[in-house]
Amino acid sequence: DVVLTQTPPTLSATIGQSVSISCRSSQSLLHSNGNTYLNWLLQRPGQPPQLLIYLVSRLESGVPNRFSGSGSGTDFTLKISGVEAEDLGVYYCVQSTHAPHTFGAGTKLELK
C-alpha cells in the first residue's frame, strides 16, 4: 500500500501566521491518465472531514483562497496563508491514484 507521511504531526500557530504541511508519498501519485489524485482534508473536532483541495492544487468550492496546494510526484504541500481560528483541526492528505486509497496520519493545527 502507498504510505503517505505527513509532517509535522503537530503545528502551533498564531492567528495570521502562514504555515505549511508536507505530505510525502512512498510512490509517485501520477496516474496513467495524467491526473494526480492527491487531496487535502480538514477535520474539525466532532465533525466529518471536509475537502479543501483536490487534484493537488484545485480549491474546492467555498473553501477560502488562503488555502493552497502544490507539488508533484511524491512531494506535496498544503499552505495556509494567514491562519484563522476556524482553521484549527486535523489536516489529512489522501491519495486515490493507487489501490487501496490511503490517508496520511494527520497534522494537528493548534493555537500557539
Partner 1 sequence: QVQLQQSGAELAKPGSSVKISCKASGYTFTSYYISWIKQTTGQGLEYIGYINTGSGGTNYNEKFKGKATLTVDKSSSTAFMQLSSLTPDDSAVYYCARGAAIRAYWGQGTLVTVSS
Q: Of the two residues 54 and 83, which places its CB atom closer to partner 1 in the complex?
A: 54
Partners of 79 in the β-ladder: 20, 68
- Please give the grid coordinates belonging to residue 39: 487531496
Q: 88-107: which residues touch partner 1 (CB under 8 A)?
A: 92, 94, 96, 99-103, 105-106
42: nearest Cα among 74, 11, 14, 3: 11
Nearer to partner 1, 66 or 101 (CB): 101
* Residue 8 one-letter amino acid: P
* Between 18 and 31, CB nearer to partner 1: 31
Residues that bind partner 1 in the complex, under the rule CB under 8 A: 37, 39, 48-51, 54-55, 60-61, 92, 94, 96, 99-103, 105-106
